[in-house]
Amino acid sequence: MISDVSSNLHTFFVPQMEQLGMKEQPSRHGSLSMRDDEFGRGLLWAHSIGENCLYTFHEFSINEQTRLVEFPDDYVCVTSMTDCSARLCPVQSRYLRERNILSFRQKGGAVSFDLMPNEYHRSYTLCMTPNFFDELPGLTDSERETLVSYLCSCDTNTHSSEIGDALESMGHSWAMSVGGACFCEGRMKEIVARLLDDAIKANCDDPREPSTEEKRLAREAQMMIDARYAEKITLQSIANELFVGRTRLCEVFREQMGLCVAEYLRDVRMDEARKLLETTDLKAAEISRLVGYAHQSSFTDAFRRQFGITPSQWRDNNIQSKVASS
C-alpha cells in the first residue's frame, strides 16, 4: 500500500497513479496498482528501498491522449525503458531504441507531459534523492560527487547492459514475494556498485585527485548564483540542487573562488544594485526586490557594509560626478 512507501518518496509515483486512475491491489511490499478498462490497461509498482531510494515498475498503454502533471522533489534516476517512455525524459532522443538504459537528473518542481493513444510504456527505475548519496558507505566526498556527475551527464544508452538486466530483474513479481524486499535491496546495491565503478573509470582524473570535480562543483554553484541571485536562494538550496552537503560545498567554493558562498552571493547582488542605481530611476525599495532582498532595510544595511554609504548616497554621488564631468 502507499503507506508502506516512505512518505518523502510519494511525489515520484502517487500523482501518476491518481491521474491514470489506477486502483491499489493487495501486495506484500510497496504499492501495487492496476487499471484495465476502456481507458487503458496498466500496472504500477512502487517499492521504497530505505528512506531515500524508490524502485518503480511501470507498464501501461492508454486509448486517449492524457496530460500528466507532477511536482516531484529533486532526484537522480537510472532506468531501463521503452522508447515511448524515454521520450518523456530529459535525454537525447535521437539515440533512443526499443530498450534504453539511461540516467538523468530531474530538478524539483512542476513537470508535465502528454501520453499519446496506443503507445506502449514500460520502465524499471531507481529514483534517488540527494540524501541517498550522502548515506552511501565507504565513499569519499569526491567519489560521491563523481558518481552524481556521471549519472547526470551520461549520454543515452552509454550504461552497460548489466545495469539494465539488474533493473529489469526487480519487476513487479517481487511485490508478492516473501523475499522481495531483500532481493530489491541487494539488486540496488549491485547497481550502485556497478555505476560507481563505471563513474570512476569514466573520470579522466585520478579519483584521489578530485580537482576536476571540485572545479565543476564550484562553477555550477557560481553559475546558479549568477543566474538566480534575485530569487530566495540560500546555501542550503544550492547544496540540495547540486546533490552535495552544505559543508562540502562551502569548503570547495572557498578553495576555488577565494570567498564563501554567502560572500559571493552578496557581491553579485551588490554589483547589480550599484548598476541599477547608476542607470535607472528605480526607487531603493524596488531595487532591493530586484536583487533578492525581501526587506529594504536588509538591502540598505548590506549596501552600507559593502560600500560604506547608503544606496541613496551612492546615487547622489553618481549624479554629482556626471554633472561635474559634463
pLDDT, tens only, 36-51: 999 999 999 999 999 9
| Cell digits of residue 134 | 550522502
Is the pLDDT assigned to residue 127 strictly greater than 50? yes
In the numeric block, the cell 524515454 is attached to 86
In the numeric block, the cell 531501463 is attached to 80
CB distance 127 to 77 below 8 Å? yes
What integer pLDDT is reported at residue 202 of this predicted model? 75
Q: How confident is the model at residue 92 (pLDDT cuts 50, 70, 90)?
A: low
Q: Which residues contact residue 325 at a Cβ distance below 8 angstroms, ignoring those fewer than 6 apart?
A: none
Of 94 and 151, which is predicted with more confidence? 151
What integer pLDDT is reported at residue 207 of this predicted model? 45
Over range 78-106, report the average pLDDT. Answer: 81
Nearest of 222, 230, 223 to residue 259 by alpha carbon: 222
What integer pLDDT is reported at residue 169 of this predicted model? 94
23-25 and 75-81 strand pairing: unpaired
Element spanning 69, H or E: strand 66-70
Q: Which residues contact residue 247 at a Cβ distance below 8 angstroms, ignoring those fewer than 6 apart?
A: none
| Cell digits of residue 290 | 530586484
What integer pLDDT is reported at residue 95 of this predicted model? 57
Over range 236-249, report the average pLDDT. Answer: 88
Is the pLDDT assigned to residue 274 strictly greater than 70? yes
What integer pLDDT is reported at residue 224 of this predicted model? 87
Over range 294-311, report the average pLDDT. Answer: 92
Domains and CATH numbers, the chain: 2-202 (2.60.120), 210-326 (1.10.10.60)
Taking the C-alpha atoms of residue 99 and residue 283, their distance in angstroms, rounded to an integer, is 58
| Per-residue pLDDT tens digits for 59-78 | 999 999 999 998 888 899 99
| pTM for the full predicted model | 0.66
What integer pLDDT is reported at residue 210 of this predicted model? 46
What integer pLDDT is reported at residue 160 of this predicted model? 80
* 3-state DSSP assignment of residue 28: coil
Element spanning 278, H or E: helix 261-279
What integer pLDDT is reported at residue 170 of this predicted model? 93
What integer pLDDT is reported at residue 204 of this predicted model? 56
Residue 183's alpha-carbon distances to 50, 55, 176, in angstroms, are 13, 12, 12
What integer pLDDT is reported at residue 42 of this predicted model? 93
In the numeric block, the cell 532591493 is attached to 288
| Per-residue pLDDT tens digits for 16-27 | 999 999 999 999
Q: Quick one: CA torsion of 290, 293, 294, 299, rounded to 10 degrees?
A: -110
What integer pLDDT is reported at residue 269 of this predicted model? 93
Distance spanning both ends of the chain, measured CA to CA: 76
Is the pLDDT assigned to residue 87 strictly greater than 90? no
What integer pLDDT is reported at residue 323 of this predicted model? 64
Over range 216-234, report the average pLDDT. Answer: 87
Nearest of 288, 264, 265, 267 to residue 276 by alpha carbon: 288
Question: Mean pLDDT, the chain, as a whole number?
Answer: 87
Taking the C-alpha atoms of residue 237 and residue 291, their distance in angstroms, rounded to an integer, is 17
In the numeric block, the cell 512542476 is attached to 110
Taking the C-alpha atoms of residue 245 and residue 130, their distance in angstroms, rounded to an integer, is 9
Taking the C-alpha atoms of residue 220 and residue 321, their distance in angstroms, rounded to an integer, is 38
